[in-house]
Amino acid sequence: MLNHVLAGTYVLADAAQYITTAVEAEMKQRFPDAKRYYYVHDFSGISGYETSARRIMTDWGMSRRHEVQKVIVVTSPMNPLVRMGVGTAVAILRVAGMNIEISESLADTIARYGLRVDRRPSPRGTSHGPALARDAR
């Protein structure tokens, strides 16, 4: 699932809660036969985040690490404080066994992993943004 946060956004705890609940449910509804998922969080334009938002996302990752194929967090090298905070969460999740990385480019990430944007309407008739899918090989 691609989660794109608008440029200039300061991420609050309620946004992190939304990503870890509604967006996760959307992913599972769009791809009901998948056993493991790719999550791409495009945080390249955010201005910052609440500590509680990072904690919510990290706790979600800890509880879902066995369901996740890979998490890629796109951050801007132009925002070193955000990148450092994301790096801390990534380190914690790696130690716990999650396959997670930081990227500087959404386009490069999509190309590197052979992901495609799935623009089908949401099964519930709402849209949480495009999903990313990887063709089975």
Per the listing, tokens 């946060």 go with 5
Q: Assign residue 19 the CATH number of its domain.
A: 3.90.190
The pLDDT tens digits for 7-49 are: 999 999 999 999 899 888 888 888 889 888 888 999 999 999 9
Domain boundaries, position 79: 2-134
State pTM to two decimals. 0.83
pLDDT tens digit sequence for 69-88: 999 999 998 999 999 999 99
Domain count of the fold of the chain: 1
pLDDT reading at 126 higher than 60 = no
pLDDT value at position 118? 67
pLDDT value of residue 128: 45
